[in-house]
Amino acid sequence: EKKTIKTFENDHLNFYAKLIPLKQMWGIYSNTIEQIERLHRYEPQLNSFNVAFVQGTKDYLLRAIFIFLTQTTMLVLTVSHIWDNRVDACRIPDLLQLIVSISGTVVVSFIAKQSRDNFNEFAYIFPDYAGTTLYKIDMASNYFGGFLVSICTLLLLLMTKNNLDIVLNATALLFVMELDELLVDNNPVWVTSGYRSYFMKEIIKGLNKADKRYWDFEYLRKNRGEHYQIHTPSCSFLFLDK
């Protein structure tokens, strides 16, 4: 929903010296308010990559990269094991093993879909997240990795002969996929504090990027304002290039 600052029909009553800078500030605040509204609407489950983006510190970035490398290593070892024992995966399982294998794969696929939904929702809430290094490794871990884990779970369960090993293998890859979420503190106070810190930094960043001439009263007052004009329909300044 677009928000505008209304002016009086009598132009002499409009205090543009304060009204125009106020409009610039409102534009910056409204972007942050929109992100907060999206955040309350979706409430995505945070993972280590999301936390590293929100916190913006080197320690959280290194932790996220380490977790991603750990997940990658575990998946590579799993794929290697399946390839070495691919003959067992092609054998015809008994009915009970087939039911357990399909059921376990469906559960893992459902959890993987939740991870993909969280990935999409977080990228929608924070547009600046898209294209970053954390965004790419998050996609590899929770988007493409989710499909790979589902396939590996099915093959791993089909090739397992011992009933106890079937139970262990059904949860093993699930742990790999959720590793980036298990190491995140989901305390509401901590999560809220992290979001608050991020939004405050974004507001300050937006103000710093804004045209400083809107806030420089000495600039606006010199020469009685002959170096700029007021554009009343948009309630903004038009700076004249000389």
Tens digits of per-residue pLDDT, 11-30?
Answer: 444 455 555 666 677 777 88
**What is the distance between the alpha carbons of residues 115 and 170, in angstroms, rounded to a whole number?**
18
- Residues 24 and 19: their CA atoms lie apart, in Å, by 9
Segment holding 147, helix H or strand E = helix 145-158
Residue 234 to residue 146: CA distance in whole angstroms: 48
Q: Which amino acid is at 134?
A: L
Tell me which residue has tokens 């290039």.
241
User: Which pLDDT value is given to residue 8?
Assistant: 44
Kindly report the backbone phi and psi dihedral angles of residue 122, in degrees, each rounded to the nearest multiple of 5, phi listed first. -65, -40
Confidence at residue 1, expressed as pLDDT on a 0 to 100 scale: 45
Is residue 153 within 8 A of residue 147, CB to CB? The reply is: no
The amino acid that residue 146 corresponds to is G
Name the residue among 144, 170, 176 with its Cα closest to residue 69.
176
Q: What pLDDT, on the 0 to 100 scale, is given for residue 234?
A: 60
Q: Judge contact between 177 and 108, C-beta under 8 A.
A: yes
Q: With a cut of 70, list the residues of the chain below it in pLDDT.
A: 1-23, 212-217, 219-242
Tell if the pTM clears 0.95, that is, is over it.
no
pLDDT attached to residue 25 = 74
Instruction: Tell which residue, 198, 195, 215, 202, has the closest CA to residue 30.
Output: 202
Number of H-type helices and E-type strands within the chain: 10, 2
DSSP 144: I
